[in-house]
Chains A and B, each alone.
Chain A
Amino acid sequence: MATQKRTVEVALSTTGVDAAGRPQRVPLVTADDGSPVAVEAPPMVEPDLAGEHMLINIGPQHPATHGVLRLVLELDGETVVRCIPHIGYLHCGFEKLGEYRQYNQILPLTDREDYLNAMGNNVGCAMSAERLFGIEITERCKVLRVIACELSRIASHLVWLGTTCIDIGAFTPFLWAFQQREYIYDLIEAWVGARLTPTITRVGGLAADIPDGWMAQLGEFTRKFPHTVDEIDKMLTKNGIWVGRTIGLGVMTPEEATNWGLSGPMLRASGVAFDVRKDFPYYDYETYDFDVPVGTNGDVYDRYLVRMEELRQSVRIVEQAAKRLPDGPINVDDPRVILPNKSKATSEMESMIHHFKLVMEGPRPPLGEAYVAMESPKGEKGYYMVSDGTSKPVRWRIRPPSFVNLAAIPKMVEGHLLSDVIAINASIDIVMGEIDR
């Protein structure tokens, strides 16, 4: 494997390169003279001795595997020769459970698979169910769902950023990121009452409209949050340790990335500008003004840069959505899925029967099937639902982006050092709840 030639201008406290020409890994100190130093990608270590290979087991209970992932590594010295991942420790059978539930009852399951992107999953699953019912949701609902998606994208990327920093050895950005994430959870709590598992959508609408004063709270968040991104950017992007530990690792070329089915920031860091929001848009994403960051080197560093830029772009989308939020109902006017008014249900016979049938039997979509993809923070998340005309789906399938992204880890880590496995694994942004489902 060829070493990737690449340099990044880095401000270091010393000259930055040792006698052997390797980057000196010293932390960033704001240099008074401000002279930047070029750091090259670390050279690939050649296997020196044809010795015995060693078997090393990482996980399933290891803080750096981001959940119950287990990697069995064959090592030659410190170089990874082979990597055998084991998953399934968190398998809950969500897809089986979904076949025994009505469409609205499936939505709480989606909170619990990719729990960092709970609202985005709710939206995606509801979108798939609505396609199956042939429902067009209201304009206000669309805009609120876009806000929900982008807020959970920010929250998910912040967790990724914080935990990756911990893995690579930086502690401060972790605290900053989790503090900002807390503000997002405050917003969700004010909206629907729950924090981690909000189940914000219903088929045909939302669980609740936003409360009074919520937009002001959101505005405060979007005003202050970019400042934190800039601070973390300053801490990491030109930091010698950070650059030295991320650059040139786990490279995937555009052809490989497409063929291995990578999606989301993983695919875009490899130079393929595919974003479901742009190429197969939903909820009028084509009318929002935002950019899709694309990397050109496909390594861990580019994945970091792409996600940092996505944080800023998500704030842009939220700001635009907040400006255009129209008045009107949040639920569609469709008696097949939406419960009648409570006061009517307790006073009119027809409404009571309607309410009873919707709750006890559940809404019934026509025969058909729908695969609806959305851009989750991890990549292309698809919900595939097949209906046989009853109130429960025949098949409910989640296309898990981090499952497919993780499948490429043996390819990405082979030939790298053991300590780089942690950085590469972190760069995939895995959530085991989604991988094992």
Chain B
Amino acid sequence: MSDGFEIQYPGNALGNAAPAPVTPRDVPNRGGDQNPSGAALRQQFADAIERVDVVWGVTNVYVRPDRVLDIVRWLHDDSSQRYDYLSDVTAVEYRDLEAPIEVVWHLRSLPFRRELRLKAQLPKNKPLEIASVWSIYKCADWLERECFDMFGIRFIGHPDLRRILMWEQYREGFPLRKDFPLRGRFSRAEQLRQALAANPEARYSMEELSIADAFEDLPTDMRKRLKGGERTGE
């Protein structure tokens, strides 16, 4: 057999004396063992940490939205933290329409077997913008795109922030926002009308069409729009 990769074991930074992980029992609603990263973050970024609490056994760290990138980079790079795995990026909008939208990151440190939840609150009276962590975790690419698609949060620094689950010409808004009705904004008749009126060319984005040497076969107006820098086919 060939020389493969060296196998990496989670918990390898803990040493052999560390107890084996066990199923958590009777997890309290508030309080309990706090992830040591919470205290470390307070020390490192005293001005950027708003609150640290433990909810149902997982440590929540509320951070200032403008410092997210610094904090996540430190968590990823620092040898005492090593959060090398980003489980999830998502957002929460509360039913109280005054409450800020929260962007939530679920981080995992495989070497230390820790999990941490980072939260940043975005007030609704300002544009919903936050730094992208794509430069640190490649998996943030699609997760942030989905978050943008569903909530309209713009991730600054994301290389390709397009809609992902909804199509690019979708005009009804952001489906997971609380002001978006369950049945959609448009009536069924309007949705049908739009579907039937859609341009079949729109199945390809302009970027994709520019790859093909079918470019020359495109209608003149479309070629003109392509050269003008338009991206989608609508």
Binding site for B on A (CB under 8 A): 4-8, 52-55, 57, 72, 74, 82, 84, 87-88, 91, 93, 95-97, 100, 131-132, 134, 136, 253-254, 256, 258-262, 270-274, 278-286, 294-298, 366, 368-371, 373, 380, 382, 384, 386, 388, 390, 394-395, 397, 399, 403-404, 406-408, 411, 436-437
Contacts and interface: CB of A to CB of B under 8 A. Distances in A.
A273 B5 CA distance: 12
Contact of A88 (B29, B166, B213): B166
B2 A5 contact: yes
Contacts of B8: 254, 258, 271-273
Interface stretch (B35-43, B136-144, B192-200): B136-144
Given A297-B4, A368-B56, A394-B94, A96 B176 contact: yes
A261 B6 contact: no
A414 B205 CA distance: 20
Main secondary structure of the interface of B (DSSP, over half): loop
B152 interface: no
Contacts of B214: 55
B137 A95 contact: no
A386 B212 CA distance: 46
B74 to A, nearest CB: 17
Nearest to B85: A258
Give me the 10 closest cross-chain CB pairs, A-B, nearest first: A261-B139, A296-B4, A55-B212, A271-B5, A6-B2, A407-B142, A88-B165, A52-B213, A399-B88, A395-B92
B148 to A, nearest CB: 13
B209 interface: yes
Nearest to B209: A55
B176 A366 contact: no
Contacts of A366: 29
12 contacts: A6-B2, A88-B165, A96-B175, A259-B84, A261-B143, A272-B8, A368-B55, A369-B60, A369-B92, A404-B142, A404-B143, A408-B139
B106 A254 contact: no
Q: Which of A96, A371, A390 has the most CB of B within 10 A?
A: A371
Given A72-B204, A273-B10, A274-B110, A286 B22 contact: yes
Contacts of A271: 4-8
B90 interface: yes
Contacts of B182: 96-97, 100
A260 B1 contact: no
Nearest to B12: A273
A132 B1 CA distance: 48
Nearest to A297: B4
Given A296-B5, A369-B56, A283 B88 contact: no
A136 to B, nearest CB: 6
A4 B2 CA distance: 9
B115 A384 contact: no
Interface string B79-106: 0000011111010111110000000101
B231 to A, nearest CB: 12
Given A283-B23, A403-B142, A88 B209 contact: no
Given A131-B56, A258-B84, A399 B176 contact: no
B156 interface: no
A256 to B, nearest CB: 8
B21 interface: yes
Contacts of B205: 84
Contacts of A295: 4
Given A95-B176, A395-B92, A399-B88, 19 more contacts: A5-B2, A96-B175, A96-B180, A134-B56, A253-B5, A254-B8, A256-B138, A261-B87, A278-B10, A286-B20, A286-B21, A366-B29, A386-B92, A388-B95, A395-B90, A399-B106, A403-B142, A407-B139, A408-B139
Contacts of A253: 5
A127 B2 CA distance: 42
A273 B9 contact: yes
A60 to B, nearest CB: 10
Contacts of A134: 27-29, 56
A283 B23 CA distance: 6
A20 to B, nearest CB: 21
B23 A285 contact: yes
Contact of B88 (A281, A384, A407): A384
A382 B21 contact: no
Given A279-B113, A370-B56, A395 B93 contact: yes
B65 interface: no
B110 A258 contact: yes
B195 to A, nearest CB: 13
Contacts of B20: 286
B25 interface: yes
Contacts of A97: 182
B48 to A, nearest CB: 22
A258 B176 CA distance: 29
Contact of B2 (A132, A297, A399): A297
B27 to A, nearest CB: 7
B209 A298 contact: no
Contacts of A369: 55-56, 60, 92
Nearest to A436: B165
B26 interface: yes
A391 to B, nearest CB: 12
Contacts of B88: 371, 382, 384, 397, 399
